[in-house]
Structure 1
Amino acid sequence: MPSKAFPLAHSLVLQFLELNKYHKTLNAFREEASEVIIENSEVFRQSPEKNLIDLVDEHLISRMTDRLGKLSLQRQIEEELNQSGNENIPRFLYDTFNQIHDANILSVRTQNLPITNFLEGENEYAYSHVTAIVTGSADKSIKFTSLLTRDTFNTLQVHKSPVLCVDFHPDYPTLMLSGSMDSTVVLVNVNTNETLQTFKDHSKYVIHARFSPDGSMFATASHDHTVNFYKMLPPSTVPNTPRSPASPRSPTFNNQIDIKYAKVHSMIFTGNVEAFCFLPNNESLVIGVREDNYLHYVDLVNFQDTKYNMNENGDEWVSFTPMDISPSPHNNGKYLLVSTDDETGRQILFLVNSDVQVRNFYGARVNKFSTPRHCWHPSGKYFYVTDDTKGDICIFDVATAKIIGRLEGHTSIVKSLWFDIERDLLISCGFDKTIRVWGVTDVTPEGSIASSENVSDTEK
C-alpha cells in the first residue's frame, strides 16, 4: 500500500510542471497518473504548502549541514584518537602454565575469589581472596589455578562437551556462567561447586554467555542462530549490601547464593551468531551475525533491534563477519571495536550507536577458518589481536593504526585473551594447551618478547 506521501509527491510534480509550463509533459503525467489523482482528489484540490524546488533546496541544505556536522565530529574523534600512549603495556612473557589441561584451552580469564574462614575463638568470619586463572577446555572441564602459587585448586565438570566461555557476575564473585558445545548454559556457585541452574534453550554450540554490566540480566549466543535473554528473578531475601561479601545479609554469606534467572526473550537471526557484547551503559547488547552486514543493537528493555550497516558505502554486500566485538574501556564505551574474518586482518573501530567508521586497522593474519579475538588495554590507546599464522598476538596502536609489536610464545592458534586490570597483565590461551601471562617489564635476560624489531617493514 502506497504511503501518505505518495499522492503528495504527485501533487508536487503537477505543481512543478504547471509553474514551469511543461504543458506536454503535464498532460502526459495527468493521463498516466489519473488513477492516483481521482482517488486522492482532496489532496489535489489544495496547493502544496511548499513547492518542489523549495523542498529540494531544504534537502540540499540539510545534507550540507549533516556533512559539516560529520566533519566536525570526525575532527573531534581524530583529536581524541591521535593522542599517543606511553607504550607502558604488557609485551614481555612473564610465565607459562603448561600442565593445567591436556586438551586445547578455549577460554581464559582471571577472577578474584573470596575465601571465607570462621574464626572459632573470635566467633566471626574472616575474608581473603585468591586470584584465580579460570580456564575452559576441550576436555569438558573448568579449572581454577592460583596465579600466585600455580596450584590448580578446583575443577568443575558441569558440561558434557568442550567449554567455550565463562563469565562471572559483577556483584557476586563466586557466581559463574558457562557455555558449552553441548548447547547448555550453567550457573554455578564456585565456592560450593553447586550447580544452581542449567539452561537448555539452545540446540547447538553456545559461543557466548555473559552477564550484563549490572548483573540483572545475562545473554547467550549460539550457532543455532539465536540469542537468548535471561532476567534475574526477585530473590527470596533481598540483600542490603550485595557488593559486600562480609555482610550476613548478602546472598553469598556462608557460601550460599540465592539468585535465579528466567528466560524473558529470544531472537532468531539468519546466520550463526558469532559475537556480542553489552554496552557499559547497560542499555544495549550489540550482536554480530555470519552472512549479515549489520551490527544489531538490541534494547535491553523492549528488545527492539536497531541495525547499523558495517559497509561504509551503505551497500548490502557481505564481505566479512564480525567475530569479536567490545566497547572501548576508557570513555564509557564511546567506540566499538570489531574484529573481522576479512583476509586483510581488518579491525574496524566504530562510533558507538552509528555506522561511522572512525578507524580501520590491518595486518593481523587470518584465514577463512579464523576466529579472531581481541582485548583492549585499559587506557584505550592500544589493543591486542590474535594472529592465526603461528600463534602470535599483535599489538595495535590506536593513534597510528599500526602494529607496534607481536607477542611471540604460543606455538598454535590463540583462542582467548583477557586483560587483568588490577595486575596490569595480559592472559592468553590456545591450541598449544598453554596459558601465557604477559607483563609490562622485562623479567628475562633475553629481553623483549615483542619489540618493533619483530615487525615487518610492511607493518611499520
Structure 2
Amino acid sequence: MEHLITSKTLQSFKSTKFVVRVAFSPDGHFMATASYDHNIVIYAAVTPAAPPPPDEDDMPLDETDDYLLACEPELRYEEVRRIKVDSNPEAILFHPRSTWLMYTLRSSHLLYYVDLANEWEVKTKSFNPHPMDTHVSFSVLNMALHPSSKIIACQTGDHRGNTGERILLYGVEPDETERLAVLWTGCEGDDFVLPRMSWLPDGSGLITTTPNGYLNLIALSGETRSSVKVHGAVNLGQASSEVVRDCVTVPTEDGDWEVISVGYDRQVRISR
C-alpha cells in the first residue's frame, strides 16, 4: 500500500506466487487479494481511513488546502481470513453492500460467495444452466459490477471446445441463480491473454479488450456497436504487441464518457 503523494510504502503484503487480483470493499473496511499460490486472503482495516477532526491549528487555510491530503494516512490492514483453493483464483469482487466477497477459480463451474459477517460461511451458485451439471467447459476469468449494483458481468475464457468468449449476466445476490443474458464478444480467446471489460457509466453496454489491439463496445442486446484499434501500432519501424491488457470507462464533465486502456505496447490510450 503506497502513499499517493509521497510514493512512500505504507504497508506490504506477501504471497509466494503472482498476486493477480486486489480488491477493496465499497465501505473500505475489507481488502482481498488472490494469488496463484492458491490462496485468497481477506484483510480488515484496523485503523481509520480518515484522520481525526482538525483542531484550531490544523484548520484549512482556504478552499485549495485539502486537510486529508496534508495528513499522514493512518489506514492499515491485518489478515483476518485465508482461503486455500484447489486451482488458480481468477476474479474477485466485493458485494456492493460489503457483505460478501465473490470469487471464481480456473477449474470450477461455480461462483463462490464468502460471508464477511457470518463466520466466513461460503455459498455457491453454478455458471452452468442446470444446477446439477458439474461439467467445467469454461472458466470465468473476470467479473464487473453493473453501475446499478444489481448485476454481475462474468467474462469467460479457457474454453474446452469451440465456443468463443462470452459475457454472462447474473443477479448479484447468492440466491439469484438464473442466467439473465449471454453476450458474445466475438473473440476466440487466447491461452496467454486474460480478457478484461468495463461497464459504461450508464450501464447500457460494456467495453471489452482483445488480443489484437481493438476495444469493442458491446450493447446489452449483444450487438457490437463499435470496434476501434487503439494498441499495437508500428513505432519507429518496429511492430509492438497488440494485446490490450485492461481498460476502464470514466464519465467526463460534459456528460459523456471515455475509455482509458493499457496495452503490452507500453502505451496508455484515452479513447472517446
Task: Sort the TM-score into its range (normalised by shorter chain).
Answer: 0.7 to 0.9
For residue 247 of structure 2, what is the aligned residue in structure 1? 417
Contact 1:364 1:387 in 2 (8 A): no
For residues 287 and 251 of structure 1, do their structure 2 counterparts lie closer, same or farther at Cα, with a shift above 3 Å needed? Answer: farther
When residues 253 and 372 of structure 1 are mapped into structure 2, their CA distance, relative to the original with a 3 A threshold, is closer
| Structure 1 stretch displaced more, 317-326 or 294-303 | 294-303
1:322 counterpart residue number: 140
Higher strand share: 2
**1:264 and 2:80 equivalent?**
yes
In the alignment, residue 307 of structure 1 is paired with which amino acid?
A: T
2:109, 2:136 within 8 Å by CA — same for their partners in 1? yes
Structure 2 partner of 1:213: 26
Q: Return closer, same or farther for 1:313/1:257 CA change in 2, 3 Å cut-off.
A: same
Task: From the superposition, tell whether residues 286 and 422 of structure 1 become closer, same or farther in structure 2 (CA, over 3 Å).
Answer: farther
Give the SS at the match of 2:201. coil
Counterparts of 1:289 and 1:227, CA distance in 2: 10
Equivalent residue for 2:235?
none
The question of whether the paired residues in 2 share the 8 Å contact of 1:364 and 1:386 is answered with: no
Contact 2:47 2:74 in 1 (8 A): no
Q: Distance in 2 between matches of 1:225 and 1:414?
A: 26
Aligned positions, number: 244
CA deviation vs aligned residue, 1:319-353 (integer Å, no higher than 9, x gap): 11111101111x2x211100110441111011222
Deviation track 1:391-419 (CA, whole Å, cap 9, x = no partner) reads 21111110x22211112121201011112
CA contact (8 A) 1:397 1:403 kept: yes
Of 383, 388, 395, which aligns to 2:206?
383
Calculate the TM-score normalised by the size of structure 2. Answer: 0.83
Distance 1:381 1:238, change over 3 A: same
Q: Distance in 1 between matches of 2:50 and 2:194?
A: 42
Q: 1:369 aligns with which of 192, 209, 217?
A: 192
174, 193, 211: which one aligns with 2:7: 193
Residue in 2 aligned with 1:229? 42
Deviation at 1:285, TM superposition (A): 1.4
Q: Indicate conservation of the 8 Å contact 1:325/1:337, yes or no.
A: yes
Contact 1:326 1:336 in 2 (8 A): yes
- The Cα offsets for residues 349-387 of structure 1, whole Å up to 9 and x where unpaired, read as 112222211100113311233300000001111101112
Which one-letter code corresponds to 2:193 in the other structure? S
Could you say if the C-alpha distance between residues 267 and 251 of structure 1 is closer, same or farther in structure 2, counting changes exceeding 3 Å? Answer: farther
Which runs of at least 4 in structure 1 moved beyond 3 Å after TM superposition? 234-238, 245-248, 250-253
Task: Give the corresponding residue for 1:310.
Answer: 127
Q: Which residue is 1:360 aligned to?
A: 182
Q: TM-score, normalised by structure 1?
A: 0.50
Match of 1:428 in 2: 261
Match of 1:105 in 2: none
Instruction: Point out the structure with the larger helix share.
Output: 1
Whether 1:274 aligns to 2:90 is yes
> Aligned in 2, Cα 1:305/1:236: closer, same or farther, shift over 3 Å?
closer
Contact 2:49 2:73 in 1 (8 A): no
Which residues of structure 1 form unaligned runs of 5+? 1-186, 440-460
Equivalent pair of 1:364/1:385 in contact (CA under 8 Å)? no
